Structures are given as C-alpha cells and as structure tokens.
A and B are shown apart, each in its own frame.
Chain A
C-alpha cells in the first residue's frame, strides 16, 4: 500500500538527500497520485489497468482518508471511466481519470467527445504497448494512436516531470482560450514503477497555483441551461470542427505562459521541448519520454570523445511545435528521430513524420532519418543511442540516408 509522504520523505533523507523536506523517494505513479491529491479534483472516475493502476489506487486511499474532497466513482470499464469523467466535467466539475494502453484504446470514442465538447479533463497516461501480442511494458503506441483526438499531449522524462506536467496541465486545459483535455504521459514501468527522488511542493502552494475551477458554461447551471452533445449535420459539423482547431492553435502560447509561471513559483523550467547540448551540435536526435535521460548520458560521453552530439526532447507532442522544432534542427548535419512506436504507415513512426513535416519547407534542412525502437518495453541502452550517432556521422559524410527508417534493437 502507498506510503505516506512523511515516510517517503524519510526514505529520501536516508538516501542522502537531507536538508530539503520537500524531497521524497517516489515512483512515477506515486508522484502523480500526489499531484492529483494536491489538485483535489471534484470527481475522479477510473478503472485499473497495469501499469497505471497505482495512480488511482493510491488516490482512492486519499479519498478514503479524507485527504481530498473528491467524489470517487469506481466504474466497470475505461469506456465508462471516460464517459463519467466527461459527464462530471460537463456538469461543471474539475474531473480527472488515469489509464494506459488497452484502457486508453477502450476510451477511444469518448476521447473525441471530450475534446469536441471542449472539456478540460486532465488524464495521466502511463505509456504501455498495445495488443497484439499482449504486453504490459512501455512503448508509445497507446497515446500515439490517440494523437489526433484533439487532446493536448505532454510527455514526461521522469517522475518529477510527470508530477510537474500534471499540475501544469490543469492550468493549460482550464485556460479560457483553450478548454481542451490533456494527457500527461510517462513511460510505463520505466518511470511509473521506478523510485526516484521527487520534489513534492507544498500542498498550499500547488493549490494556489492550480486555482479554483470556475466553468463559464456547465450543465448544472440552472440559470443558463444549455444542451451539450447535440446532433450536427452537413450544415454545422464542419464549422464546429473548424472551431476545435482554433484553441489548438493557441495551446503553444498557453503552455509557455503556464511554464513561465511554474518556473517563477517552483523554479523548474518547462518549454515546448527541451534541448540538450544542441546549439553547437552537428548531429541531433529527437526523442520522447524516459529515453531522453539515457540519451543525455550518451551525449555527454560522445562529447568527451569530440563528437558534437545534441538532442531535442519533445515535451508537447500535441499540438506539435512544428516551426520551433524546425528552427532548433535547422543547419544540423544529420538528424535522427527515435520513435517508441511503429506508425505502420509505411515510413516509420509518428514522431518521424511530424519532424519531417516540420523540416519540409526549411531551406537549410538536415538529412533526417527515423528509428523505431523499444517496442513492448525492449530496453534501449547508451550503446544503441551511440550507434544512431555513428549512423548520423556516416550520413553526414555522404549527405544521403542509406535507410530512411531502421528498427533499432530488434533481432535481425
């Protein structure tokens, strides 16, 4: 069962992180459950699924202990979890849920409805591979499949980022210019179950940061009754879907604005993406999630050996920061995009497609190749990432990509 924050803080202190009572030894799921406790949503409707189960299991103990005022709804499926969350949010509540993999897949039709109705639901998702074959370990196929549903997607490298992103997502989603749902994703098991030192901010400070949710239009407002989820035909559907693209175009600015406020309050910096040793880099990789941590170690090592390696770690995958990513990669000799899911589109993974799209119109664009790696939790080590940089150096010599898309770490 979940340890109390006091117990985990003691553990962190024992681990030599003394002197800061805000530091705790927590898994990704525990950190996110604490973020949810501090957010204190009105409603959480959830169904357990590995490796996301702990989030709502721990959160339900907060409910039972009276640490939150949340109405917890134990539903019979993820389809119902998202449906109940949508209903609660439409009624005027701050509503959350959490899931993973097949659970997210079962939510499918409701994901589009949450976005289409402009409901600011925040949902942590631990990334796990989709069946078949059945697998419980990390890859990004689950949330990549939901990339066009109208949800904001924030990827996290570690437990701290998962915690911070969950808190920031509330502010981003509930911003009057946005009113869209968001997934906060982090790698299943690699982050969800690995214990790290996480800085958990004071409850009062987080409460003040997220603020009170005051919806302007909601179903329980009897003074201004409205209908939500009405039927559109050929004469209105297009206008309403065009209307959905409008807040999407504003997400970028709000993510940066909330990131700046977060930095001011808590000291940690968040943008649309993070760059690592990129400025003078000749060879760059683009990654999402926990792989960025391994890549940083690899880059440090390569730099020691005189290889000008750098990285772009995408934080906001939806909407995708096309111009900013292109600008960051412009002028590099060669770029590799690492996808932890196979798009099965005939040309690598979805991140590869987006980066190529971003670079398409830039005059000084680098040769860009794609790698599909880590499916179903297959480990990616520094040696694999180094092999990518070796390929990039080869490509830079000739200016031509030998293989546009490679599978990295599969038995050939």
Chain B
C-alpha cells in the first residue's frame, strides 16, 4: 500500500527550530526561490506589438526580470521584478513598449 506522504513544508512555513542556525544558507543559487515581486508599487506593462526587441531593457534590468527567448523579448518575470522602472525609462522614446502602472490597479 502506498504511504501517504506528508506535504513537505516550504522554507517559508518552517518554524524557527527547523531553520539552519545563524541564518546560514546551506544551498547556493536559491535567490530565484525568493519572491521579490511583491515589493513592487509600480508594474511594468509590456506591449509586444510596439517592442522591437532591442534588449536595452534586458541589459539595464538589475533583477534579470526581462524574459528573452531566441534573442527576442517575450515578457517580464513578475515574481522577481521589483518595479524600479528602469526598463520603461530606458525603452527608446520612439518605441515606448514599456509603461509603468500603479500596482494597485491590478489588485
């Protein structure tokens, strides 16, 4: 008979005594697991019709939140985008494919 597996707690659900001592992080490269997207007060909205995939936003994004596939921009990683607005500011004036909108509009 198959055993019923207890659902593993995520690190966000773990009580204090189950966390590594002294705030030590035993795993490397786990920043992606942390949702920094909920810090955002303004959200970048991408218009795929206007975008020319110059990738200037990709170069400037401090959080690697511009998603690119095969050399083309395909969207924004809202899990990690902190809403700094650099992408919208750097998008060429003639293109304007990125626009910042208040996060409250989406809630």
Contact = CB atoms under 8 A, between A and B. Distances in A.
Query: Which secondary structure dominates chain A's binding surface?
Result: loop
Contacts of A246: 16-17
Interface string A218-239: 0000001111111010011011
Nearest to A225: B28
B16 A228 contact: no
A226 B26 contact: yes
Contacts of A228: 22-25
A195 interface: no
Contact of A230 (B12, B16, B17, B23): B23
A365 interface: no
Nearest to A231: B23
Interface residues of A, number: 23
Number of chain B interface residues as a range:
10 to 19
Contacts of B22: 116-119, 179, 228, 240, 243-244
Contacts of A236: 19, 23
Contact of B16 (A118, A119, A217, A243): A243
Contacts of A224: 26
Interface in B17-60: 17, 19, 21-26, 28
Interface of A: 116-119, 179, 217, 224-230, 232, 235-236, 238-240, 242-244, 246
Given A226-B25, A243-B16, A243-B21, 10 more contacts: A116-B23, A217-B21, A217-B26, A225-B28, A227-B25, A228-B24, A239-B14, A239-B19, A240-B16, A243-B17
19 contacts: A116-B22, A117-B22, A117-B24, A179-B22, A217-B21, A217-B26, A224-B26, A226-B25, A226-B26, A228-B23, A228-B25, A230-B23, A235-B12, A236-B23, A239-B14, A239-B16, A239-B19, A243-B16, A246-B16
